[in-house]
Amino acid sequence: MATNTATKKTTKTAPKAAAKPVSKPEKAAPAVKGDALAVIATGGKQYKVRVGDVVKIEKILGDHKVGDKLVFGNVLLLDSAGSTVVGAPYISGSKVEAEIKEIGRDPKIVVVHYKQKSKYFKKYGHRQPFFKVAITSIA
């Protein structure tokens, strides 16, 4: 009977240094000219917008009506005339202005929970509210 006497080679690595939090300076907003692009954060999502775009976003808390102006201060990225500024996480001093064009609710989503042979049946529906906004300016 043959026995396998192969030896395993183990390599030792140096212990990793503890990661130190690095504070990044906030970037200033550049002057926006012409056809500018911005990435904004609202409602837990990110949207790529240009002036004149109509975007469907999550409803924002508060008493809003069609025609109201909104200002988004959470600008993650600005791109205009070949210069791109990326925020860390946001670009200070920059904002995207928009006007509410429509307030509505999405079609109903029906959710059914069912387990056979145990008489378990639950059914409910949900309609997600939304705003349709037109981007008026990027600054």
Domain assignment of residue 64, yes or no? yes
Domain assignment of residue 86, yes or no? yes
Domain assignment of residue 24, yes or no? no
Task: For residue 111, name the pLDDT band (cuts at 50, 70, 90).
Answer: very high
pLDDT at 122: 97
Domain assignment of residue 118, yes or no? no
pLDDT digits (tens, 9 = 90+) for 19-40: 555 545 555 555 555 689 999 9
Domain assignment of residue 96, yes or no? yes
The pTM (predicted TM-score) of the whole model is: 0.68
Domain assignment of residue 7, yes or no? no
pLDDT at 80: 86
Domain assignment of residue 59, yes or no? yes
Q: List Cα–Cα distances, 35 to 50, 82, 83, 102, in angstroms.
A: 7, 10, 12, 25
pLDDT digits (tens, 9 = 90+) for 48-98: 999 999 999 999 999 999 999 999 999 999 998 888 999 899 999 999 999
pLDDT at 52: 92
The mean pLDDT value for 110-120 works out to 97
> Which structural domain range is residue 54 located in?
37-104+130-138
Residue 7 CA to its chain's centroid (Å): 52
pLDDT at 35: 82
The total of structural domains in the chain comes to 1
What DSSP string describes 96-133? EEEEEEEEEEPPPEEEEEEETTTTEEEEEEE--EEEEE
pLDDT at 117: 96
Domain assignment of residue 23, yes or no? no
* Rounded Cα gap, residues 33 and 135, in angstroms: 15
Would you state the torsion angle of the CA atoms of residues 84, 85, 90, 92, taken in this order, to the nearest 10 degrees? -130
